[in-house]
């Protein structure tokens, strides 16, 4: 493998994983378009949409695992929420991860763009008083949490993303979970989701070993640092970063679809 490509993949993995830990997402919202467009733009061989989805799925697994371990002593994780949404999303993501092999690259990109657009719209809805509730008093609707996680799991499994980029807006806006608890819990839920989507992509033969290994190394280094920083940054700043990232990615993917 070319050293320039190795460096490129490492930087993509590091940036995506740092943001993953910072705002409680798997990082595919960043890494999917970067993996799809940056290597060929720099003169390296292009990866197909299926290969990018496979690499992303494996990388998300290790990024979220590293982030969860970094936050295990911070006491901001809602384990009941993780249990309800985690079980539902792992079932859905496995089905979507394996079923994605029967879809075209254009369809995968379309699903990704739709998810990102919905998530972006939700992030710009005001969330007044969200972070005023003490963490130990937080409650949520179990049925809505389970059903939403199942649906998101199927759709996100198709693109090799763990789904946190749309679960986070759902947790903030619909379930009314405080920001820091949302970030920590979504990392754990995303880790569970990534088990299903990773297994599905491996079974489908979409995972390239060396690119995935390079991205995993970057994940283990970057995700814990981002997770630790996320517990100290102002919650409005965290919400703003996530909203901008999701909106920018949605616009980029729609532009690419429209110009093909």
The per-residue pLDDT for 161 is 61
Residues lower than pLDDT 70 in the chain: 1, 26, 29, 159-163
Q: What angle do CA 240, 159, 191 make, to 5 degrees?
A: 65
Contacts of 257 (CB under 8 A, 6+ apart): 106, 109, 110, 113
CB atoms within 10 A of CB 69: 15
pTM of the complete model = 0.76
Output 169-176 pairs: Cβ under 8 A, ≥24 positions apart: 169/118, 169/119, 169/122, 169/123, 170/122, 171/81, 172/122, 172/123, 172/127, 172/130, 172/239, 173/122, 173/125, 173/127, 174/144, 174/148, 175/81, 175/140, 175/141, 175/144, 175/145, 176/130, 176/133, 176/140
**pLDDT tens digit sequence for 195-252:** 777 887 888 888 888 898 999 999 889 989 998 898 888 888 888 887 887 787 778 7
The per-residue pLDDT for 131 is 74
In whole angstroms, give the CA distance from residue 155 to residue 253: 16
CB atoms within 10 A of CB 79: 10
Give which of 193, 199, 153 is closest to 20, Cα–Cα.
193
Domain limits, the chain: 3-258
Q: Which residues of 108-124 are buried (b: 16+ CB within 10 A; e: fewer)?
A: bbbbbbebbbbbbebbe
Give which of 243, 204, 170 is closest to 51, Cα–Cα.
204
- Give the CA distances from residue 123 to residues 59, 117, 129, in Å, rounded to whole numbers and listed in that order: 25, 10, 15
């Amino acid at each position: 493998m070319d050293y320039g490509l190795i460096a490129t993949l490492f930087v993509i993995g590091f940036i995506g994983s740092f943001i993953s830990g910072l705002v409680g997402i798997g990082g595919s919202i960043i890494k999917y378009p970067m993996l799809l467009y940056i290597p060929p733009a720099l003169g390296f061989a292009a990866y197909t949409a299926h290969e990018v989805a496979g690499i992303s799925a494996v990388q998300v697994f290790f990024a979220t695992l590293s982030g969860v371990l970094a936050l295990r002593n911070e006491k901001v994780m809602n384990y009941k929420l993780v249990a309800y949404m985690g079980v539902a999303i792992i079932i859905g993501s496995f089905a979507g991860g394996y079923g994605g092999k029967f879809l075209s690259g254009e369809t995968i990109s379309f699903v990704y763009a739709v998810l990102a657009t919905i998530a972006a719209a939700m992030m710009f809805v005001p969330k007044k008083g969200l972070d005023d509730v003490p963490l130990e008093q937080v409650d949520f609707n179990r049925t809505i949490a389970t059903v939403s996680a199942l649906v998101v799991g199927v759709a996100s499994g198709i693109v090799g993303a763990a789904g946190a980029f749309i679960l986070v807006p759902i947790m903030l806006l619909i379930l009314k979970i405080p920001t820091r608890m949302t970030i920590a819990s979504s990392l754990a839920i995303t880790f569970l989701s990534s088990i299903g989507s990773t297994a599905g992509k491996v079974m489908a033969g979409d995972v390239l070993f060396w690119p995935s290994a390079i991205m995993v190394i970057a994940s283990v280094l970057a995700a814990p640092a981002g997770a630790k920083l996320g517990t100290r940054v102002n919650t409005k700043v965290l919400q703003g970063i996530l909203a901008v990232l999701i909106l920018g990615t949605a616009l980029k993917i729609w532009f690419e679809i429209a110009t093909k």
